[in-house]
Amino acid sequence: MAPAFPLTTRAPGDILFRARGASVTASQFLAAAHRLARSLPQVAHVVNLCEDRLAFAVGIAAAVLRGQVSLLTSDRSVGRLGQLAAAYPGCCSLGETDIEGPLPHHRFALEVAGERGEAENPAIPADQPAALVFTSGSTGEPAGHLKRWGALASRSMAAAERFAFAPGTAILGMVPPQHMYGFETTILLPLHASVSVGCDTAFYAADVEQALAALPAPRVLVTTPLQLRALLASGRGIPPLAGLISATAPLYRDLAEAAERAWGAPVREIYGATEVGSIASRRTTEDEMWQAYPSVRLEAGGGGSVQVTAPWAAPTALNDAVAVAADGRFRLLGRRDDLVKLAGKRASLAGLNRILNAIEGVQDGVFVAPDDLDERPSARLLAYVVAPGRTGEEILAALRGRIDPVFLPRRVVRVEALPRNQSGKLPRAALAGLPAREN
């Protein structure tokens, strides 16, 4: 018989979430989850479309209690929901508001304020499927990855051990809970670490300032490099922070240093992927090496790949090339699939992007390789930049002194914004819609 993990390891009176000025204890959260679980339709899969973070968390817990698998997608379009309906016959959507679409929808009213006493906190089998999390589509079509409850719970406990949050720490997330990073740090973490999560909307700088002010100290901000850059550029003062956590894209050292100077708090970076979840961390300003979470192991696989092994998760090959040191720490060498070859030379798109974004005046930028790069000798890279006040020629001139001429973009196309999703990712389909030249 497989071991089991409780829905939460927190004490009944511990505060898990803070929403609209109210504190939600573990008992209140469990009671709300049981109430919703009793009303859920008899289905195998539930598409969690809750917009409120607390409602989303209750929806996840309720589905786990019913033995249902939550489908987590950041794409709420009718087309995407239609794809899920076809791929998972009989599934329904779940939310706290009415939603019209191709799925039967279960709307529920979230009530937590009046709960009294201790609600049942059942042990969930470690091998029970709990969620199917879809990739953002940044490397192709979104792909679903099954997460078992044991893997989710044990990884949350490992993160709690790694970050050693001070008791009473309040976390504010700028990332959506449908994304693996947001799911782990703002939904699962408060179930197993001595933290609470603020549920107020926090995307723009003014929202972040207001939402942080509503939380007690010590405060930790969960964000992305793109959001960090925007928050710094806003110049807004925010309440004191005990720390910041970043993921979803490379965090360049100069940005991490600027954030630490501005807010006087350490910036720690998480490494992971939808396929494997969060597996390692580092303090970017101090070390380029990553330290795997407790119980996570990196082992050499076939064909030069590296496999990640962790409790209750299937061994998974990393899409990144890494060099593992004798002490178990590792260095990222770039994505295994992001190498481009031109004129017999190779370069990493991630490395080129790092150089592009380091140019003065570039707020955001990305190199794009055409689909036929390997087949058409005359094909060249393109670069898209958000750089008010800089011309494409100026940026191209800056690149000439920093990269091999063969990898210079044929054009530098200035755009108002790159089509990043809420997690800061650039889906390939969205990149394909960008113009090949400026209008």
Helices (runs of H) and strands (runs of E) counted in the chain: 12, 27
- Write down the mean pLDDT value for the chain: 89
Tens-place pLDDT, residues 252-310: 899 999 999 999 999 999 999 888 899 999 999 999 999 999 989 998 776 667 889 98
pLDDT of residue 146: 94
User: Which pLDDT band, with edges at 50, 70 and 90, does 2 fall under?
Assistant: confident
Question: What is the Cβ-side half-sphere exposure of residue 321, based on CA atoms within 13 angstroms?
Answer: 11
The answer to the question of residue 437 being in a domain is: no
Same domain, 329 and 370: no
Same domain, 145 and 227: yes
Task: Kindly list the distances between the CA atom of residue 47 and the CA atoms of 53, 73, 93, 180, in Å, as whole numbers in the listed order.
Answer: 15, 8, 4, 15
> Who wins on pLDDT, 160 or 336?
160
pLDDT of residue 168: 95
Distance CA 332, CA 321 (A): 6
Cis peptide before 12 (omega within 30 of 0): no
Same domain, 68 and 201: yes
pLDDT of residue 303: 64
Distance CA 335, CA 353 (A): 13
The answer to the question of residue 438 being in a domain is: no
Show the tokens assigned to 147: 């997460």
Same domain, 158 and 289: yes
Among residues 213, 212, 233, 236, the alpha carbon closest in space to that of 222 is found at: 212
Of 8-12, 115-119, 216-220, which gets the smallest average pLDDT? 115-119
Same domain, 112 and 175: yes
Last residue of a domain, one of 333, 368, 396: 333
Last residue of a domain, one of 318, 333, 348: 333
Last residue of a domain, one of 302, 333, 364: 333
Query: Domain total for the chain?
Result: 2
Residue by residue, DSSP assigns 287-341 as: -SSBEEPTT-EEEE-GGG-EEEEETTEEEEE-SEEEEE-TTS-EEEEEETT-EEE
Q: Give bridge partners of residue 278 from the DSSP assignment.
A: 272
pTM (predicted TM-score): 0.84
Same domain, 265 and 346: no
**Model confidence at 394: pLDDT above 80:** yes
Same domain, 46 and 62: yes
Burial class from Cβ neighbours inside 10 Å (0-12, 13-18, 19+) for residue 127 reads middle
Same domain, 50 and 166: yes
Report the amino acid identity of residue 99: I
Task: Kindly list the distances between the CA atom of residue 411 and the CA atoms of 198, 367, 399, 438, in Å, as whole numbers in the listed order.
Answer: 44, 10, 12, 9
Question: What is the Cβ-side half-sphere exposure of residue 298, based on CA atoms within 13 angstroms?
Answer: 27
How far separated are the first and last CA of the chain, in Å rounded?
Answer: 64
Among residues 35, 29, 32, the alpha carbon closest in space to that of 13 is found at: 29
Tens-place pLDDT, residues 323-368: 888 888 998 877 766 777 776 677 888 888 889 998 999 999 998 8
Same domain, 220 and 360: no
The answer to the question of residue 439 being in a domain is: no
pLDDT of residue 113: 67
Same domain, 310 and 404: no
The answer to the question of residue 204 being in a domain is: yes
Tens-place pLDDT, residues 45-101: 999 999 999 999 999 999 999 999 999 998 888 999 999 999 999 999 999 988 888
Same domain, 328 and 347: no
Same domain, 196 and 262: yes
Domain containing 50: what range? 4-333
- CATH code, 241: 3.40.50.12780
Show the tokens assigned to 400: 């000439």
**Model confidence at 432: pLDDT above 90:** no
